[in-house]
Amino acid sequence: MLWKRIFLLILFLFSIFSLCLAADDFKDLRRQMVENQLKKRGIKNKRVLWAMNEVKRHKFVPLQSIAYAYADHPLRIGNGQTISQPYIVALMTEIIDPKKTDRVLEIGTGSGYQAAVLSLLSGEVYSVEIIPELAKSAATRLNKLEYKNVFVKAGDGFLGWPEAAPFDCIIITCSTPRIPEPLIAQLKEAGRLILPLAEGYPQKLCLFTKDKNKMVKKYITDVLFVPMKGKVEQEKMRD
């Protein structure tokens, strides 16, 4: 149909336009993102703001979406998954406040963008992605961009990464009705864990701190994330 051809032509032109953007243009878009989307919404951690300004977000989105890489909304990356809105990435990172010596576990690698941000702020980042194609492409991308302290594997995030535990911080970038027990066990005492709890609609972004093997909960804000897949779905059926 004619309208489909027109749409594809527009998409093609956007892609060409995006590829023609100079490095300085992307740098300016990142600066605007930090100033207008992050600082104005209350992100204050200077290390987080620096990392968000350093990571080239346009390297983590599909070619057809590159013109929108720094837009104030999530983007589809294929396989039913998305790269989160820049503000949400910054917010979750600021809340867990990773230190340079921290070992961080991420559940839900996606394109690898959140892992890249975390890599600049922590000692090591271990990221688990349940979709093999995404895990492979993210690992390749992160390696090419020389994020050498990020380790990616394909697997069920519900189980975490026990061989690399314990972790100072855990960040879960997919919604789940409760914290998977293996992840609680893999979190250090006084460690921080952040996730979108699917207790209803909307989901609740919450920070948990481990205190004497108990998880102390703090509500942050309402959010909307794609659901966790794998073993967690079996757990839901038992409830």
Residues acting as catalytic residues: 84
Torsion sign, CA atoms 118, 121, 122, 123? positive
Handedness of CA 129, 133, 135, 137 (dihedral sign): negative
Residue 203 and residue 183: Cα distance in Å, rounded? 20
Dist. CA 161–CA 4, nearest whole Å: 45
Burial class for 228, CB neighbours closer than 10 Å (0-12, 13-18, 19+)? buried
Alpha-carbon distance of 161 to 107, in angstroms, equals 9
Q: With H, G, I as helix, E, B as strand and everything else as coil, classify residue 224.
A: coil
> Is the sign of the CA dihedral 137, 138, 139, 143 positive or negative?
positive
Spatial contact of 97 and 119, defined as CB atoms under 8 Å apart? no
Q: Which residues neighbour 170 within 8 Å (Cβ) at sequence distance 6 or greater? A: 104, 105, 106, 107, 160, 183, 186, 187, 191, 192, 193, 194, 195
